Amino acid sequence: MTNDCLFCRIVAGEIPATVVHETDETLAFRDIGPKAPVHVLVIPKEHFTDVAALAVADPGLAGKVLAACAAVAAAEGLTEDGYRVIFNAGPHSGQEVFHVHAHVLGGRPLGPMVSA
Report the interface residues with Zn ion, using CB under 5 A. 2, 5, 7-8, 47, 99
Candidates 70, 67, 56; CA nearest to 25 is 67
Minimum Å distance from CB 23 to ligand 5GP? 18
Q: Report in angstroms how near the CB of residue 70 gets to ligand 5GP at its nearest.
A: 19
Dist. CA 65–CA 59, nearest whole Å: 10
Q: Could you tell me where the DSSP H helices lie in the chain? A: 6-11, 51-57, 59-75
**Least spacing, CB of residue 95 vs ligand 5GP, in Å:** 4
- Is 101 one of the annotated active-site residues of the chain? yes
CA–CA distance, 106 with 56 (Å, rounded to integer) = 28
Which letter does DSSP use for residue 25 in this model?
S
From Zn ion, ligand 5GP, none, which one binds at residue 5 (CB under 5 to 8 Å depending on kind)? Zn ion
- 99 binding partner (options ligand 5GP, Zn ion, none; Cβ < 5 to 8 Å by kind): Zn ion
